[in-house]
């Protein structure tokens, strides 16, 4: 315990780098997922083809290999050296964004066809249909899977130390090599990774509750804090976002 207390500042510094990698990678993955997921539902074949190429390419490449390519192969091929942190974020975002794009595409396609046809009858533009009817309903369906992807992305940041990023895994490795305290060093990293994951899970639960409230869906367990630990129920009432 004394070992952990003395080295807590180093662990926290590494944890902060891990949080930055998670937030940066998640933001990039979300943007890519929304763009290519919506393109995957387009009526024209060209945007669907572009979306399919992106998804199949980056879903089929290991995040670690992509990270190595960004950090080591890209400078050789182009002469342009990326910052190690940015290279890790870019690799994680591209990889997880490909999975997220399929989530977005599936959720949009799951919106009842009758509601889409009703928006057409109301003479709403494509942008209005997506903003007011389609995306709000799809958003509530995307969130549980998005939560899983964010957790997986956070865990994938543990390999970023292999390209020189001083994240939580790197701190644990350095302390193990410097002190020989293998069990304690990795136990500290394990606890901090777990705590970060719990914060992310809580945040996604809050987003799920908010999305379901906007659609008029029931929230289980009232409004108590313990209800955040339970998955939201799926109601039958749907409509335009408020």
Is the residue at 240 inside a domain? no
d(C-alpha 36, C-alpha 14), whole Å: 33
Cα–Cα separations (whole angstroms), residue 183 to 11, 74, 175, 188, 189: 15, 37, 11, 9, 10
97 part of a folded domain: yes
Residue with tokens 């970023």: 160
Q: Is residue 113, in this structure, part of any structural domain at all?
A: yes
Position 109 in a domain? yes
Q: How does DSSP assign 54-97, residue by residue?
A: HHHHHHSS-HHHHHHIIIIIHHHHHS-PPPHHHHHHHHHHHHHH
125, with CB counted inside 10 A (0-12, 13-18, 19+), is exposed
List pLDDT tens digits, range 33-48: 999 999 998 878 899 9
Range of the domain at 108: 2-229
Q: At what angle do helices 182-214 and 8-39 cross, to 10 degrees?
A: 40
In a domain, 236, yes or no: no
Q: Look at 102 and 217; give whichever has higher pLDDT.
A: 102
User: What pLDDT score was predicted for residue 44?
Assistant: 83
Percentage of residues in the chain with pLDDT exceeding 70? Answer: 88
Measured in whole angstroms, how far is the alpha carbon of residue 182 from the centre of its chain? 31
The C-alpha atoms of residue 70 and residue 87 are separated, in whole angstroms, by 6
Residue 239 counted as domain residue: no
Tokens at residue 100, please?
């997220």
On average, the pLDDT of the chain sits at 85
Instruction: Examine residue 15 and state whether it is found in any structural domain, yes or no.
Output: yes
Report CA 116 to chain centroid distance, whole Å. Answer: 28
What is the total count of domains within the chain? 1
Q: What is the CATH number of the domain that holds 21?
A: 1.10.3720.10
Is residue 4 scored above 90 in pLDDT?
no
Query: For 10-26, how does the pLDDT look when each residue is reduced to its tens digit (9 = 90+)?
Result: 889 999 999 999 999 99
Number of Cβ atoms within 10 Å of the Cβ of 155: 14
Kindly state whether residue 234 falls inside one of the protein's structural domains.
Answer: no
- CA–centroid distance for 241 within its chain: 23
């Amino acid at each position: 315990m004394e070992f952990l207390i003395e080295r807590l500042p180093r662990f926290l510094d590494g944890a902060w780098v891990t949080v930055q990698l998670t937030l940066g990678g998640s933001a990039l993955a979300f943007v890519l997922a929304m763009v290519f997921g919506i393109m995957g539902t387009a009526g024209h074949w060209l945007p669907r083809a572009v979306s399919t190429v992106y998804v199949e390419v980056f879903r089929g490449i290991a995040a670690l290999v992509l990270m190595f390519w960004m950090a080591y192969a890209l400078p050789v091929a182009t002469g342009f050296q990326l910052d190690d942190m940015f290279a890790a974020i870019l690799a994680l975002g591209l990889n997880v964004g490909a999975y997220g794009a399929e989530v977005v595409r599936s959720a949009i396609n799951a919106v009842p066809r009758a509601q889409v046809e009703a928006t057409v009858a109301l003479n709403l533009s494509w942008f209005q249909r997506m903003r007011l009817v389609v995306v709000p309903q799809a958003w509530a369906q995307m969130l549980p899977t998005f939560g899983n992807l964010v957790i997986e992305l956070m865990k994938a940041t543990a390999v970023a130390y292999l390209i020189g990023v001083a994240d939580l895994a790197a701190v644990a490795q350095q302390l193990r090599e410097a002190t020989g305290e293998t069990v304690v060093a990795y136990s500290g990293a394990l606890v901090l990774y777990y705590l970060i994951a719990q914060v992310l899970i809580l945040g996604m639960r809050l987003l799920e509750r908010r999305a379901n409230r906007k659609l008029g869906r029931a929230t289980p367990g009232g409004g108590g804090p313990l209800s955040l630990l339970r998955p939201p129920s799926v109601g039958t009432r749907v409509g335009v976002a408020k």
